[in-house]
Amino acid sequence: MLTIVWDVDDVLNNLMQQWYVNGWLQEHPNCALHYSDLTSNPPHRVLDVNLEEYLASMDAFRRTQAGIELSPNNEILQWFVEYGHQFRHIALTARPLDSAPDVAAWVMRYFGTWVRCFGVVPTRTGQAIPIYDSSKGEFLSWLGKGDVMVDDTPENLTKAEQLGLQVFAWPQPWTNLQNNSKIKPKLGTTEILQELTKMAAHDD
């Protein structure tokens, strides 16, 4: 049985889009950009602000009820309902440690029927927090598990691929794969889930 490693934010949920619509645009009503214009992550340069301002806004949104109670990606959830039992699943996120309890509870609430392992790579850590891994690639290297990774960040996918995982880039405005021929072609969401379904059948 193959093991899929799932990114949480912007794959299992739509954190960035919800932050942009319900957080940033509410704070900056004169901003004329669309979500599709956020072609880098973090998007501070696109928004013409410094990184600290973006991070402060995102962190504040994560603490709101809207940020804690994000809706799951319905397309993925329906795929889990039909095919999730044919795989093992790991949810792996990189975010500030103080928000990890909320997102861990969120994962188990919506995907806990199938996900039996939750991992976090803390970002922006303080001196009192021990650093075991600085990236998802390092986490996966330590864990020694995983056959497939679904993520929206090319750097994470590249490192996972170097570890021997098959990778799928979940489409987001910033998921630019032009310089990574090994991960191309860029598939749509439905196509990615179809490919995973085929892998389950092949594994049988």
148 and 175 belong to one structural domain: yes
35, 52, 68 — which closes off a domain?
A: 68
For each of the chain's 204 residues, which pLDDT tens digit applies? 999 999 999 999 999 999 999 999 999 999 999 999 999 999 999 999 999 999 999 999 999 999 999 999 999 999 999 999 999 999 999 999 999 999 999 999 999 999 999 999 999 877 788 989 999 999 999 999 999 999 999 999 999 999 999 999 999 999 875 555 466 557 999 999 999 999 987 765
Q: Give the global pTM.
A: 0.93
59 and 139 belong to one structural domain: no
195 and 105 belong to one structural domain: yes
76 and 56 belong to one structural domain: no
CA distances from 75 to 72, 86, 170, 189, 193 (A): 9, 17, 12, 8, 9
97 and 132 belong to one structural domain: yes
Q: Phi and psi for 109 in degrees, rounded to 5?
A: -65, -45
What CATH number has the domain bearing residue 188?
3.40.50.1000
pLDDT score, position 176: 72
8 and 27 belong to one structural domain: no
Indicate the number of domains in the chain.
2
**Which residues form the domain of 126?**
3-13+72-203
